[in-house]
Structure 1
C-alpha cells in the first residue's frame, strides 16, 4: 500500500479525486507542499506551524492527510461560523471526493445548544419585551422539530439576543444527569456523537474552556485523538488567555442572584430568606460599582478600562474599594451557607453552593495584589463592571500541557506550586490529564497550527513566542498562488496630499476617498477602520454624502445589523447594477470576511492597525519586553500591525479571477522608517503614484465588470 505522502500527493494531482469531483479544481504546488508537511507531522508527531497565504487552499491541505491517515483527529477553528463551514461544507466535500467511510461530529459550547429544561423555566418568566416574547415563541416552535438543538439552525436569531441566555445552560446552572430533561439534552447528545466520531470539529473557545475548567467533555475524547489541528491559529493566544485568566463581572453575579432566587422559591420556599440573600448580593454588587466611581475617561455609552497595578484600580479609592469587595465576599459566603443547609432539597442547591464558593474565592482573590506575570484591569460602564486578570500569553500552558515540555526548574512535579485560590487546577488529583502527550513513543500526538497570517519574519515569532512554540515546532511558510501585480493595485497617499492620521480632518478625507471609489465602482467598497470613533465619523460622512431618495450608494455601518445581515446585504448589492453599497466596519471585519468576485473590488483602510494605546494587557506585555532590555515597539507593536494589515488587505483578492484596489490612508507608511517593514508584509501589489492613478484604475475595473 502506498505510504501517506504518496496518497496525499495523488489527491491533488491533475487527474486525482479532487479534479474528478470539481471541474474548477487546479493543482497548486503550495497546497501539496503544505499537505506533505502535515502528513510528515502526523507520521512523526510533534508540532507544525504553517503559514499558508490566501489562495493556497489550506483547509484541504490539512484535511486530506488527516482523513487519509486514518487516525482520530480534532479540528479546531476560530469561530462558530467557520466551524459550521468546515463541518457542513469542506469536510463532506473532501470525504465524498475521497470515498472514505469517515464519521464526523460537530461539538460546540453549551451556549450554542438549546436546553429543554431552561426553555421550560423561561416559559414561566415574563419576557422583557414584546420582541423577546416573539423570539421565545419562535424558539419554542423550532424546539419541537430540531434534532441537534444547535441555535445556528435559526439564522434569524440575533446572536446578541437577550433570550439566548434564558434558553441555554452554563457550566454553573446545568444540572447534569440529575436534570429532569437529561434524556433530551442536546449537549449530552453532541458529546456522545463526538466520542463515537473519527473526526470532531470544535472551536478554540471550546478547547481552552476544557483546558482550563474541564467544560467541554473532551476529557474522554482527547486521549484517543492522535492529531489536533488549529485552523485560524493566529487567534489562539488571545482566545486562550480569556479562559486561563479570571473574571468576576456584573452579569455573572446578577445571573447567579436570579438563579438563586428562582431555585429557592421553587424548591425551598420558607427554608431560607431567599429574597434577602439575593437582594444582599445585588446590593453588594451595586456598592462595588459605586466604589469604582464614574471615570472621566469613560466614553459615551461605553465602558472605561482602568489599569489595576495596585490593590485598587487606577483612580479608585483603595479603602472604599476593598471594603466593597469584602461586602461582596461576605454576601456570597452567606449564600453558600444557606445553600449548604438545604442542599438535599433539590439538585440545584449543591451546584449553587459550588458557584457561591467559587465566586467568593474570586472576590477574595481580587482583593489581593496581582502577580507580576499577569495583567489586571477593571472595565466600568454606567451600571456594570467587570474585574479581569489575565496571563500575558499561553506559552507556558502550551509547552507544559500540550507539548509536554517541562519548565527548566521543575525536575520534581511535587515541587510545583498549587493552583492559586479561586482558580481550578488543570487536572484533579488522581485524574488522568487528557491533554498530556501520548505516552506511546511510537505514536506521539501531532499538533498542527495553520493560518494565513502568523507573523512577518521567517520564524513567525509573533505567533510562536506567545504560544510557546518558538524552537519547539517545525516552521513552514507557503506563498500565495495569486498574481497580485496583475490582479490588484495599492495606493498610499503621499504625506503632502493627505491629512496625517492624527489630524481631525483625516476621517473626512478617508470618507471622501471611499465615496469617490464607490461612485466609480457602483459600490463594491469596504472601509476598514481601526477604531469605533473612526467608524462613526467615516460612516456618518458617507451617509451625509449619499443621503436622500434615489442616491446611487447605500451606506452600511457595523453595529446597525448583525454581521451576517450586513454581509448578506453587501453581497446582494454587489450583484446589483441598480444600487451600489459601501460598508464601513471595524474589529471582526478585518478577518473572516470572504467576498470573492465582483461584489468587492475596493478595500480602504483608514490607519495602520497598531495595538490600541492604554490596553492593560498590551502595556503589561510591553513592560515585560522592556524590562528584559528589548524594544516593545519592535517586538509587539510592529508585528501586531503587520499581521492585522495582512488580514485587512487579504479581504480584497480571494480567488484567481478577482481584481481590485487597496487604499491605505496612512502616510506613515511612506514617511516613517518602519513603513518598509509593514509594506513588506503586504502582498506584492502594483503601486500607484497618486490618487489620479487610483481613480483611473477604478474606472478600468468598473468597465471590465460592466
Structure 2
C-alpha cells in the first residue's frame, strides 16, 4: 500500500483512529490534507495548506509523517502547540498506529542546565548559599535532578525554578559553552544529549525561532547547531514566518547587553586582566546610544553614519586581540589548561561578534532599518539600537525553500481574498513552484456564530474619549447579555485599561469577574478564563491566537479595532517603501493593498478563531471599528472572515442567546 492510501485509511470509519476515539467521524477536509501531505512527502516539493479551525491539521500532517518512516522536522511558532504535539497528539498516534516512532523535541540551549556552570556556582560562589527556604528548595531539587539519569536537563521540568538572573547562571548559553574542553562534557552534557537524540529520531519537534537560527548557523559554519537536517520540514503556524525571520535576523546593541556579557560568570575572570578597557566599552556604547538618539527622526529611525559605532567596533576588536595574545589562566586547581584556553577562545569570539554587530550598525544599508527604542536622550541603559531586515522573504528563501528539501507550510490563516499570493510574498515563495490547498470551513458559522458590527464613534487619536465612552457602553451591554464568558481583545494597552477599569467597577454589582492581561502570566489567565464561570478577560495582541477554549467559557469575543500596524513603525514603514519600489511600478499604494491590508485580514481571522472551537460552540464576535461599515476596503476584510451572520444591533445579539 502506498503512503497516500495508507494515510487515508487511518482516517476511515474502520481505521485505527475510529477504534481509539469515541464518536469518531471522518472529516473530509482532514482526509484531503492528510493525503496532500502524504503526496508531497512521496514526490517532494513545496505544499502550502490553509486548514481552518476544526480541520484537525496536526493529525493530518503527523499521521503521514509517522507512517513515512523518514526524517521529519515539525516546527511551530508557539510553545503551546509544541507541547500539545509532544504531550498529547504524538503519544496518542503512536499508540493508535502501533508504531514506536522515535520522537525528540529540540529546544534552545537556555532550556538546559549546564553541569559546568552549576558546579562552578555551587563550589566557588557564596551567592549560592540559600538565604531562605525557597532558595534551599531550588538548590536541593537541582542537586537531586542532576543525580537522576532520567533527567534531560530541561528546566521546564523543575518544580522550583530559579528566578531569571539566577537561572541564567546555571543554563547553557551560546556565549559560555566550553564544548568538548568542558570537564563535564561526559556527564553527559544535556545539550549534546538532546542534539544526539534529535539526530537519531525520526520525528523532531521544534520552533521556528530555533529552526531559523540553526539554519542560519549552518550557512555560516556548515554545522546544524541544534535542529538536525531533515528530509521533510512541516511548518505549522506558518503565517508567523516573516515576523520570526525578522526577529532572528535582527541585531541589537544596548549598554545592558555589553554589561551582562562582561560581567557574566564565565567571562569576567578572563576579562579582568584588561582593566580599564572593560569600562571604556560600556562608556562608548552609552555614547553610541546617545548619538543614535540624537540623530534619530521622530519615529526613532537613524539615517546617517554613526561614528561611535565604529569606535565601539574598534575598541571591541582591540580587546579581542589583547585577549588572543594572552596566556589563558586557570581559575582553580580543578580548572584544566584546556578549559582555560576554551574559555579564552569563547571570550574572544563573543567580543568579535559584538564588534561585527557594531560595524554593521555604523552605516546605512538599503535592506535594513536602524532605529532606537526606549529613552533616547536620557538614561542610556533604557535605550537599544536595533538593526532589522526589510526583506526577510529573501532570507527565508535562502535558509529554507532554496535547500531543495520537501516543505509543508500550514496554518488556519494563509489566504487573503481566496489567494495565497500574500503568504508567498511574505515568505519568499514567489519564485518557487508550489502546490496550493485551501480547505473549506468545517463549522456551520451561519448558525453557530454572529458577527456584530455596532454603530460606534470613529477613533480619533487626538481626541480619544468619545470613542472610549462609546466602546465601554457597548462592551458593558454585551457582558451583561452573556453574563461574562467573554474575551476582549485590544490593539493597545490604553484601550485595555480604560475598558478593564470600567468593567471592574461594574463587576462589583454583577455576577461576573474581570481580569486584565496585566494581572498574571498568560497560562494562568487562560486557565482562569477556562475554569471560572462568568469570567471576562481583557488582553492584547498576544492573546489573539494560540488559545483553545471550547465550550461555554468563551461565548463572546470582542475586538476593539482593526489591527493595522502603526504607520510610523520603523520596520513597517521602510518595508512597505521597499515593496513599493520593487513591485509597485509607480503605484505608491501597492504595499498598502497587497501587504498592509492583507495583514489586517489575517489577524482578524485569528482573533475570530478564538470563538468557535468545536461543532457544539455558539457565540458572537464583535468588532468595534467604524471603518468596517464605512470604508471601501471593508468588503475585502469581511469577505475573508468566517461566514457568520452579520448583525448591527444589540437586541439581535440578545435574541441570539435567548
| TM-based fold match above 0.5 | yes
Aligned residues: 626
Question: Is this contact kept in 2: 1:191–1:217, CA < 8 A?
Answer: no
Match of 1:500 in 2: 458
Match of 2:224 in 1: 218
Match of 1:354 in 2: 349
Match of 1:479 in 2: 440
After superposition, what is the alpha-carbon deviation per residue over 1:1-30, rounded to whole angstroms, capped at 9, x for unaligned? Answer: x11111111111112111111113221100
3-state SS of the aligned residue for 1:559? helix
1:183-194 to 2 correspondence within 5 Å?
183-194=187-198
User: Distance between the aligned counterparts of 2:414 and 2:591, measured in 1?
Assistant: 18
Greater shift in the superposed pair: 70-79 or 468-477: 468-477
Shift of 1:686: 1.5
After superposition, what is the alpha-carbon deviation per residue over 1:494-531, rounded to whole angstroms, capped at 9, x for unaligned? Answer: 3xxx2112243223332333333333333210000112
3-state SS of the aligned residue for 1:218? coil
3-state SS of the aligned residue for 2:169? helix
Gaps of 5+ in 2: 330-339
1:398-417 to 2 correspondence within 5 Å?
398-404=396-402
Indicate the RMSD between aligned Cα atoms, in angstroms.
2.8
Question: Is this contact kept in 2: 1:622–1:632, CA < 8 A?
Answer: yes
After superposition, what is the alpha-carbon deviation per residue over 1:623-664, rounded to whole angstroms, capped at 9, x for unaligned? Answer: 123333342221122101000000000000011111111111
Question: Is this contact kept in 1: 2:296–2:303, CA < 8 A?
Answer: no
Shift of 1:94: 1.1
After superposition, what is the alpha-carbon deviation per residue over 1:239-262, rounded to whole angstroms, capped at 9, x for unaligned? Answer: 112223333333431221113x76
Sort the Cα spacing of 1:106 and 1:666 in 2 relative to 1 into closer, same or farther, 3 A. Answer: same
3-state SS of the aligned residue for 2:369? strand
Shift of 1:101: 2.2
Match of 2:595 in 1: 636
Shift of 1:604: 0.2
2:578 aligns with one of 618, 621, 624: 624
User: Is 1:521 matched up with 2:479?
Assistant: no
Question: Is this contact kept in 2: 1:519–1:552, CA < 8 A?
Answer: no
Shift of 1:618: 0.8
After superposition, what is the alpha-carbon deviation per residue over 1:331-378, rounded to whole angstroms, capped at 9, x for unaligned? Answer: 3234213321335331211110011112112212211122x2222222
Match of 1:595 in 2: 549
User: Is 1:607 matched up with 2:611?
Assistant: no
User: Distance between the aligned counterparts of 2:67 and 2:296, measured in 1?
Assistant: 59
Shift of 1:672: 0.7
3-state SS of the aligned residue for 2:427? coil
3-state SS of the aligned residue for 2:450? strand
1:367 aligns with one of 353, 362, 369: 362
Match of 2:144 in 1: 144
Question: Is this contact kept in 2: 1:53–1:479, CA < 8 A?
Answer: yes
Greater shift in the superposed pair: 81-90 or 550-559: 550-559
User: Distance between the aligned counterparts of 1:646 and 1:305, measured in 2?
Assistant: 29
User: Distance between the aligned counterparts of 2:284 and 2:352, measured in 1?
Assistant: 16
Match of 1:582 in 2: 536
Shift of 1:307: 1.3
Shift of 1:134: 4.0
User: Distance between the aligned counterparts of 2:580 and 2:271, measured in 1?
Assistant: 57
Question: Is this contact kept in 2: 1:109–1:216, CA < 8 A?
Answer: no
User: Is 1:234 matched up with 2:243?
Assistant: no
1:529-544 to 2 correspondence within 5 Å?
529-544=490-505
Return the structure number with greater helix share: 2
Match of 1:555 in 2: 514
After superposition, what is the alpha-carbon deviation per residue over 1:67-124, rounded to whole angstroms, capped at 9, x for unaligned? Answer: 1112111111112232122112111111111111211111101122222333344556
User: Distance between the aligned counterparts of 1:294 and 1:136, measured in 2?
Assistant: 48
Shift of 1:293: 4.7
3-state SS of the aligned residue for 2:538? strand
Q: What is the TM-score with the length of structure 2 in the denominator?
A: 0.89
User: Distance between the aligned counterparts of 2:350 and 2:253, measured in 1?
Assistant: 12
After superposition, what is the alpha-carbon deviation per residue over 1:230-287, rounded to whole angstroms, capped at 9, x for unaligned? Answer: 010011111112223333333431221113x76453x687xx244x333222222333
Q: What is the TM-score with the length of structure 1 in the denominator?
A: 0.83
Question: Is this contact kept in 2: 1:237–1:393, CA < 8 A?
Answer: no
Match of 2:449 in 1: 488
Greater shift in the superposed pair: 641-650 or 137-146: 137-146
1:44-193 to 2 correspondence within 5 Å?
44-123=43-122, 134=134, 137-138=137-138, 141-142=141-142, 144-145=144-145, 147-154=151-158, 161-182=164-185, 183-193=187-197
After superposition, what is the alpha-carbon deviation per residue over 1:35-76, rounded to whole angstroms, capped at 9, x for unaligned? Answer: 111111111101000010000111111111111112111111
Match of 1:328 in 2: 312
